[in-house]
């Protein structure tokens, strides 16, 4: 057997103890040029970088969950349990009539499924493709929209937000007119800016995209912390939303490790996406765990309430620091600009790391994010630690 571990697609293919290195000719060139997604090592760190729920299960709930999971038939493929989870989520979200729900292994998988559903493949070798469909999203935004589009052979168009991270409506509409995207993603609230975009702008984009049969996917990953859900708009005016899909996840709710995303849409669309969903994409353990969590939804909504209170306290504290500007958040994170050049934000980021606090340095992700770090809201104790560290760093670096 080969005694080495491939780290990524750039790992050396020599020293195999054999002259036969693997032949990668059938691996796509664009994939060979990519880097694998790296999850930062956060051992020993206060982890405030990934919008996870900071609260772990109480010992009592942990023990109950353990007992529940012990009863799960892990020798069987997922079946009835997954149907129960769909019913529980439909009930939890308040599914409108005529709507259905698709489960994904996190929203990430749903984004891939949507791409697959829209990507064109030649039906007959002799018939060339008319055009490559496109995915459009405001930027800076959630990176998986573009990554997934490119992987599925779809064009990707990013449209810059305004400097206050509001939608640039004229630019969005003209990009929609020019590219006629198959899918427009609107994260509501957005990541990393954490704001809700203007309702009127979203309505106009939905109207324009619907006119030619495109899809608008409203991504509500941060819904537990937001003051408004687009589901209410769908319920109030289903006709205007026939081309709208709503995507949610249990990750930010409190189950990031469990990997459950769900897509809500008119039943006819859901039926199409169901055709391409891998049959057993949600494991029995994940489904049981999510069912258990939904049976204790009040525990998680209490946590969301605390996180929202904490978010406001952090924002208030930061707004009093010189040269620090927190942006208004409707998520469980706060985008913060450290004024001056980018190096100041980087120094703060590195300084926090030295203090064993991990946040996300987004300052190089997009020009609009110059000087910005994204702070995930933690427990009250964690936030106090973060703020004390920031006070100290701002005082020492200014």
Please state the closest distance from residue 191 (CB atom) to ligand PLP, in A: 3
Structure tokens at 289: 């765990």
**Which of 69, 88, 85 lies closest to 285, judged by CA?**
69
Please state the closest distance from residue 256 (CB atom) to ligand PLP, in A: 6
The answer to whether 250 and 301 are in contact (CB under 8 A) is no
Q: What pairs with residue 376 in β-bridges? A: 333
**Which of 27, 20, 29 lies closest to 2, judged by CA?**
20
Please state the closest distance from residue 366 (CB atom) to ligand PLP, in A: 15
Q: Which is nearer to ligand PLP, 104 or 344 (CB)?
A: 104
Q: Which is nearer to ligand PLP, 95 or 187 (CB)?
A: 187
Question: What is the DSSP pairing of strand 261-266 with strand 99-104?
Answer: antiparallel
Q: Which is nearer to ligand PLP, 104 or 266 (CB)?
A: 104
Could you check whether the bond before residue 295 is cis, i.e. omega within 30 degrees of 0? no
Q: Which is nearer to ligand PLP, 224 or 321 (CB)?
A: 224
Please state the closest distance from residue 297 (CB atom) to ligand PLP, in A: 17
Please tell me the distance from the alpha carbon of residue 54 to that of residue 266, in angstroms, as a whole number. Answer: 34
Q: Which is nearer to ligand PLP, 254 or 393 (CB)?
A: 254
Structure tokens at 176: 């929609």
Position of minimal CB gap to ligand PLP: 106
Q: What pairs with residue 136 in β-bridges? A: 157, 184
DSSP, collapsed to helix, strand or coil, labels residue 34 as coil
Q: What pairs with residue 262 in β-bridges? A: 103, 248
Please state the closest distance from residue 213 (CB atom) to ligand PLP, in A: 24
Q: Which is nearer to ligand PLP, 189 or 393 (CB)?
A: 189
Q: Which is nearer to ligand PLP, 148 or 310 (CB)?
A: 148
Please state the closest distance from residue 307 (CB atom) to ligand PLP, in A: 15
Please tell me the distance from the alpha carbon of residue 274 to that of residue 265, in angstroms, as a whole number. Answer: 12
Please state the closest distance from residue 190 (CB atom) to ligand PLP, in A: 7
The answer to whether 198 and 166 are in contact (CB under 8 A) is yes
* Contact set with ligand PLP (CB under 6 A): 51, 106-108, 142, 187, 191, 219, 221, 249, 251, 256, 261
**Which of 32, 25, 29, 28 lies closest to 11, judged by CA?**
32
Please tell me the distance from the alpha carbon of residue 357 to that of residue 256, in angstroms, as a whole number. Answer: 20
Please state the closest distance from residue 141 (CB atom) to ligand PLP, in A: 7
User: Can you point out the beta strands (E) in 17-114?
Assistant: 46-47, 99-104
């Amino acid at each position: 057997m080969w005694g080495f571990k491939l780290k990524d697609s750039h790992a050396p293919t020599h020293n195999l103890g054999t002259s036969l290195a693997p032949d990668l000719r059938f691996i796509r060139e664009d994939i060979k040029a990519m880097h694998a997604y790296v999850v930062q090592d956060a051992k020993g760190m206060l982890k405030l970088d990934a919008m996870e729920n900071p609260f772990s299960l109480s010992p009592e709930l942990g023990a109950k969950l353990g007992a529940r999971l012990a009863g799960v038939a892990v020798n069987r493929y997922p079946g009835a349990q997954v149907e129960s989870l769909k019913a529980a989520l439909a009930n939890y979200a308040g599914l409108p009539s005529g709507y259905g729900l698709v489960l994904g292994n996190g929203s990430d998988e749903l984004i891939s499924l949507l791409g697959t559903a829209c990507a064109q493949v030649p039906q007959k070798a002799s018939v060339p493709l008319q055009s490559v469909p496109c995915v459009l999203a405001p930027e800076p935004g959630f990176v998986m929209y573009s990554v997934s589009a490119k992987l599925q052979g779809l064009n990707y168009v990013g449209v810059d937000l305004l400097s206050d991270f509001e939608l640039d409506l004229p630019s969005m509409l003209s990009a929609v007119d020019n590219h006629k995207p198959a899918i427009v993603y609107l994260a509501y609230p957005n990541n990393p800016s954490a704001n809700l975009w203007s309702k009127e702008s979203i309505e106009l984009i939905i109207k324009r995209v619907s006119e030619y049969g495109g899809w608008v996917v409203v991504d509500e990953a941060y819904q537990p912390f937001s003051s408004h859900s687009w589901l209410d708009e769908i319920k109030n005016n289903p006709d205007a939303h026939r081309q709208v899909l709503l995507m949610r996840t249990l990750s930010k709710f409190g189950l990031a490790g469990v990997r459950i995303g769900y897509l809500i849409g008119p039943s006819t669309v859901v039926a199409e996406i169901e055709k391409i969903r891998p049959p057993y994409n949600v494991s029995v353990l994940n489904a049981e765990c999510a069912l258990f969590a939904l049976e204790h939804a009040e525990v998680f909504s209490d946590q969301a309430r605390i996180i929202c209170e904490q978010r406001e306290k952090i924002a208030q504290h930061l707004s009093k620091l010189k040269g620090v500007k927190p942006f208004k958040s409707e998520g469980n994170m706060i985008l913060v600009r450290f004024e001056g050049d980018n190096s100041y934000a980087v120094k703060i980021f590195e300084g926090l790391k030295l203090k064993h606090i991990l946040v996300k340095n987004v300052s190089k992700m997009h020009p609009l994010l110059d000087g910005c770090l994204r702070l995930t809201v933690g427990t009250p104790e964690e936030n106090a630690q973060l703020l004390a560290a920031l006070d100290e760093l701002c005082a020492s670096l200014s």
